[in-house]
Amino acid sequence: MRLRALLETDALGLRLLGGEDELDRTVRGVMTTDLRDPSRYLSGGELVLTGLAWRRDAADSEPFVRILASAGVAGLAAGEAELGAIPDDLVQACLRHRLPLFAVNESVAFATITEHVVRQVSGERAGDLAAVVDRHRRLMTSGPAGGGPEVVLDLLGSDLDLHAWVLSPTGRQIAGAGAPLPAEVGAVLAAEHLAATRTGRRGPHRAVTGGTTYSLFPIRNTGRGAAPASRDVRETVLSDWLLAVEADASDWPAARLDLLQGVTQLIAVERDRRDAARTVRRRLAQEVLELVQTGAAPAEIAARLRVAAPVLLPGLGAAPHWQVVVARVEWGESGTGAPGIEAGPVAQSLLEEILVDPATAGADSADRIAVAHTGDEAIALVPLPAVPTADGAPAAEEGGPEGPAGDGGPGLHADALLAAVRGPLSAGLADDGHLTLGVSAAVHSAEGLRGALEEARHARRVAAARPGRVCAAGHHELASHVLLLPFVPDDVRRAFTARLLDPLRDYDRRHRAELIPTLEAFLDSDGSWTRCASRLHLHVNTLRYRVGRIEQLTGRDLSRLEDKLDFFLALRMS
């Protein structure tokens, strides 16, 4: 903006005292100071506001104005509240150095001038940035990416002083300029965004965490069929990215909001590009899955796996081991799905996100998981690098992308897969959605894939029998009693658990006796009085009293194996 525009703004009430020929100077910012030497805080182009507290006598004006002129400020506005009329020595010094001088009436606050200048300058810079964003969008849509989302996020930081990050639905950082967003903050923001989206509220959504305010803008994936407005929000909420901006956008002008919407559209182009890059991996998984399900010969499956391995694990020396993960997203308490929603693609997109290696989460090289979908089910074919054992035979690497093995076996593990994403996904699923995962053991050949697929499907059924919106189960659980629980009819489960546990729950509600937690700890301690008392920080006599009360209320004897087993199963089914 120009100095002339400030003079012509009646609300500011500025009077020009000198420098009429310099009114076309550009104002790039505003600074308020009463320092005798403010040069260290000046970068040029500022309108300097001063209350004249630095002036002791007439000799002080010349050096003060000389410092401002040398720094290249646009002009000086002096307040009349301190001295009344502006001293003539200051007027003359400004004339000598060709520095425009304004008088600020004592009824006008410096804050009013500052707010006006900042709003005007930010609007102009936003317009310049909008032009850059538009050029960048055209580059990205017509050819190779012009640097990805990081470029436009850098522009937001440098031109508008906005710190921003692109996050996945689970809160994983996909792109950002400057310092990375802490993982726990990303998870909280993603959960807030998903919860707000499920209620139907329009973005941007406001979220506060750790004392910092963020504005959350949805990034729609525009490359998947119908326009977002015509789709059920449940079909997109678990796959769309979001833009988190460290600012409160609730009072932003329309022009700035429009600019941020343009930024999200630009980033959506990159999202579509990355989604298209998954096509080869998805096709490979679909081909292998069809061969496995149709009972193709192991040699034919092995040939297809040899094609898949270099794509999923480039540079791999030995043949990999493979693991199968099955996911299903269901809507409604009955688990029958929601009319009009294709659950398979939703589960496919979500499973691809869950399986991204967090160690290299922002890189395309981490996205090497092949996921297909059939019906309402998504199926991932996960390669595990094989490492030599002591006898020279290949063995699957321990841990995989989710860290150390939870049950001592190689590869991915159910609990680890969901540890960091349970909160955000539960918010996105709201009150009517369920996500269940099943994880197979690792297999070293094509012959084992069919069994691995069935194993993962059985494990998912075990997970589906558990309470909660997001549940998973692994292959190791199929060798225990929990394999039987999903197949117990719901009415039998409710009657069994009610008969054993309802008396204890009622007593706990009335007396706060914590009988249920005591029972769980007693069984987990294998009936050991001392270990259980130590775990609960109780005296053994207090523990004996509680167990006696449990036996009295239920008519059971916790020294008998069959009664312990009944309680154990009731707790697992509740």
pLDDT tens for each residue of 500-520: 999 999 999 999 999 999 999
- Do residues 322 and 419 both lie within one domain? yes
Measured between alpha carbons, how far is 106 from 84 in angstroms, rounded to an integer? 8
Measured between alpha carbons, how far is 98 from 78 in angstroms, rounded to an integer? 16
pLDDT digits (tens, 9 = 90+) for 153-163: 887 787 778 89
What is the H or E stretch that residue 156 is in? helix 149-160
pLDDT at 374: 85
Measured between alpha carbons, how far is 266 from 217 in angstroms, rounded to an integer? 13
Residue 312 domain flag: yes
More confident residue, 461 or 363: 461
Residue 212 domain flag: yes
* Percent of the chain with pLDDT strictly greater than 90: 29
pLDDT average, residue stretch 68-83: 89
Measured between alpha carbons, how far is 13 from 15 in angstroms, rounded to an integer? 7
Is the separation of the CB atoms in 41 and 50 below 8 Å?
A: no
More confident residue, 62 or 301: 62
pLDDT average, residue stretch 261-265: 80
Backbone phi and psi for residue 512, each to the nearest 5 degrees, phi listed first: 50, 45
CA distances from 157 to 43, 125, 152, 175, 185 (A): 18, 12, 9, 13, 19
Q: Which amino acid appears at position 269 of this protein?
A: V
Q: Buried (b) or exposed (e) across 372-388, using 16+ Cβ within 10 A?
A: bbeebbbbbbbbbebee
Q: Which CATH number covers residue 264?
A: 3.30.450.30
- Do residues 482 and 506 both lie within one domain? no
Strand order in the sheet with 14-18: 14-18, 101-104, 75-79, 46-50, 29-32
pLDDT at 389: 46
Q: Give the length of the chain.
A: 574
User: How would you class 310 by CB atoms within 10 Å of its CB: exposed for 0-12, middle for 13-18, buried for 19 or more?
Assistant: exposed
Residue 433 domain flag: yes
pLDDT at 338: 54
Range of the structural domain that residue 541 is part of: 490-573
What is the H or E stretch that residue 382 is in? strand 377-384
Is the separation of the CB atoms in 326 and 435 below 8 Å?
A: no
Residue 328: pLDDT over 60: yes
- Do residues 483 and 494 both lie within one domain? no
Is the separation of the CB atoms in 335 and 434 below 8 Å?
A: yes
Residue 260 domain flag: yes
- Do residues 293 and 372 both lie within one domain? yes
Instruction: Give Dmax over CA atoms of the chain in angstroms.
Output: 103
Confidence of residue 363 (pLDDT cuts 50, 70, 90): very low
Confidence of residue 487 (pLDDT cuts 50, 70, 90): low
Q: Which amino acid appears at position 41 of this protein?
A: Y
Instruction: Select from 454, 445, 451, 447 the least CA-distant residue to 322.
Output: 445
Domain boundary among 248, 277, 306: 277
- Do residues 313 and 249 both lie within one domain? no
How many structural domains comprise the chain?
A: 4
Backbone phi and psi for residue 284, each to the nearest 5 degrees, phi listed first: -60, -45
Residue 116 domain flag: no
- Do residues 432 and 380 both lie within one domain? yes
The 3-state secondary structure of 17-29, one letter per residue: EECHHHCCCECCE
- Do residues 56 and 103 both lie within one domain? yes
Q: Of the given ranges (238-247, 315-324, 416-425, 481-490), which has the lowest mean pLDDT?
A: 481-490
pLDDT digits (tens, 9 = 90+) for 167-226: 999 999 998 877 899 999 999 999 999 999 888 888 899 999 999 999 999 987 654 443
Residue 349: other Cβ atoms inside 10 A: 23
Most confidently predicted of 236-245, 454-463, 470-479, 530-539: 530-539
pLDDT at 227: 41
Most confidently predicted of 137-141, 163-167, 280-284, 289-293: 163-167
pLDDT digits (tens, 9 = 90+) for 387-422: 544 444 444 443 333 333 334 455 778 878 888 888
Confidence of residue 67 (pLDDT cuts 50, 70, 90): very high
For residue 437, the cross-strand partners are 327, 472
Residue 129: pLDDT over 90: no
Tokens of 560: 């008998």
- Do residues 341 and 194 both lie within one domain? no
- Do residues 178 and 36 both lie within one domain? no
- Do residues 211 and 179 both lie within one domain? yes
